[in-house]
Amino acid sequence: GTQTPPPHVAMLATPGMGHLIPLAELAKRLAQRHGVTSTLITFASTASATQRAFLASMPPAVASMALPPVDMSDLPRDAAIETLMSEECVRAVPALTEALLSLKQRPTTTGRLVAFVTDLFGADAFDAARAAGVQRRYLFFPTNLTALTLMLHLPELDASIPGEFRDLAEPLRLPGCVPLPGTETMKPLQDKSNPSYRWMVHHGAKFREATAILVNSFDAVEPGPAEVLRQPEPGRPPVRTIGPLVRAEDGGGSKDDAPCPCVEWLDRQPAKSVIFVSFGSGGTLPAEEMRELALGLELSGQRFLWVVRSPSEGGVGNDNYYDSASKKDPFSYLPQGFLERTKDVGLVVPSWAPQPKVLAHQSTGGFLTHCGWNSTLESLVHGVPMLAWPLFADQRQNAVLLCDGVGAALRVPGAKGREDIAAVVRELMTAEGKGAAVRAKVEELQKAAAEGLRDGGATAAALAEVVKEWTSADDSVY
Ligand code: UDP
């Protein structure tokens, strides 16, 4: 007889490797464990070499497709990344509608289209799914339940807080969440006059149009909001916690399969002796902070592996958001003689490292991170305690969650002078002071993560439930 084509899901990734990587991980997991194929749809603006290599490394069950470019030339040059992503999404709705219609029309090659999934800046793409007649519209939230809680409450907070979040005398107390000082809320909430703020309020409202919300987190790391969001609530889509979905050590771009100087260097270091220093796929430091960090690492006397990019220019820290490749020679910004003086204890690599491999390596004992959520999850899955050095986006509130909430990280003190940096690096790496408690907590979270990911664990159960919704026959879009 004829074979029924497999269920197929169209997934739209908004710009940034931090959005694409976990969505691709979801697609891979759905293919391997649940027999669901996918097409990853990306925007024209993100066609970087890093992204191309990454998409080329996907298994055959995970196809990809780039949308045609949209005109963004009318936007101001200093538009926030949140604004750029949101605008590009809205403007791509017609092209996306066409793409979804074409996926619907060729079920024998791709599978029968059963659902559309997009991430946190893509909720406007629900309009394209609706226009293409795709009934099941899912939101994939690549950060945590705390951030989701904030987003879902944003329309009402916008109405009840007349001034700026950063001027609030009391921290925000969101249901189940660690108290969040207004100054630490995500970057686009720091200035209501910036269009990116309006976009976030808009997205928070639009999230409620989702059939369900899939969140890349797990209960043990934020038990409070997990408890609250597990309860059904009228007017709010069901929330399913499906994390931690992180890349396997060998995944993430063909570059990673070549012999890697980072790993060869780590192989020669003692167990848990190295602190890995990295600010995500696009994070950059101002020149001054980059210098203090170099001198602080040197002063700490600890071994380090540092991914450097040339410094940020406007102090914003996201100069490389659309393309991870460092724009200039980053080494030229390091203090004079630094590389020579630290050559026996440190390795400095430009732009990009195979992060999952580094975090999984037995020589890695700490992670100085910008607290991007993927980096956080990768660190927890590999049991690596963290030092929090947030830069932009949701990173400051993630740092609050990690340091004040669950206790999986120490915070790099605000002034970021070399002495402070050296002291906190030592505290973490030698498990002095609060370093010991952080290490113990991270071990506990690593176990909880592994438990959730095993066959029959929380992740598998939640995804099985979702796939059941997608394949229940009657309201099939096919
Ligand atoms: N990443 C990597 N090598 C690098 C920098 C980043 O493999 O040198 C990966 C990292 O493993 C993670 C993702 O890029 O999966 C970064 O996502 P995250 O959410 O931590 O931060 P963002 O890039 O969104 O700021």
From the CB of 244, is ligand 1 less than 6 Å away? no
Minimum-distance ligand 1 atom for the alpha carbon of 21: 15
Confidence class for position 314, pLDDT limits 50, 70, 90: low
Confidence class for position 477, pLDDT limits 50, 70, 90: very low
Mean pLDDT of 221-248: 96
Residue 316: predicted pLDDT: 61
Residue 385: predicted pLDDT: 98
H-only helix segments in 301-360 = 338-341, 355-360
For the cut 90, the answer to whether the pLDDT of residue 250 exceeds it is: no
Residue 328: predicted pLDDT: 78
Between 14-18, 119-123, 210-214, 224-228, the lowest mean confidence (pLDDT) is in 14-18
Minimum-distance ligand 1 atom for the alpha carbon of 283: 25
Residue 1: predicted pLDDT: 46
What residues does 110 pair with on adjacent strands? none
What is the overall mean pLDDT for the chain? 93
Encode pLDDT of 155-168 as tens digits.
999 999 999 999 99
Q: Which residue has the tokens 């095993």?
A: 454
For the cut 60, the answer to whether the pLDDT of residue 59 exceeds it is: yes
Mean pLDDT of 356-378: 97
Confidence class for position 478, pLDDT limits 50, 70, 90: very low
Residue 254: predicted pLDDT: 43
Nearest Cα to 41, choosing from 125, 120, 105? 125
Residue 319: predicted pLDDT: 66
Q: Tell me, in angstroms, the distance from the centre of ligand 1 to residue 247's CA.
A: 10
ipTM of predicted assembly, 2 dp: 0.99
Distance CA 435, CA 424 (A): 9
Between 51-65, 240-254, 347-361, the lowest mean confidence (pLDDT) is in 240-254
For the cut 50, the answer to whether the pLDDT of residue 204 exceeds it is: yes
Residue 39: predicted pLDDT: 97
Mean pLDDT of 4-25: 94
Q: Give 115-118's long-range contacts (Cβ < 8 A, gap of 24+).
A: 115/9, 115/10, 115/211, 115/470, 115/477, 116/9, 116/10, 116/11, 116/12, 117/9, 117/10, 117/11, 117/12, 117/23, 117/26, 117/214, 118/11, 118/12, 118/13, 118/14
From the CB of 355, is ligand 1 less than 6 Å away? yes
Nearest Cα to 100, choosing from 178, 11, 189? 11
For the cut 70, the answer to whether the pLDDT of residue 315 exceeds it is: no
Residue 210 has which token pair?
Answer: 């989702």
Residue 279: predicted pLDDT: 97
User: Which of 359, 374, 377, 398 is the best mutation target for the ligand 1 pocket, counting ligand atoms within 8 Å of the beta carbon and taking the most?
Assistant: 374
Encode pLDDT of 79-107 as tens digits.
999 999 999 999 999 999 999 999 999 87
For the cut 60, the answer to whether the pLDDT of residue 185 exceeds it is: yes
Helix or strand holding residue 322 (H, E): none
Distance CA 452, CA 445 (A): 10
From the CB of 15, is ligand 1 less than 6 Å away? no
Q: Tell me, in angstroms, the distance from the centre of ligand 1 to residue 278's CA.
A: 8
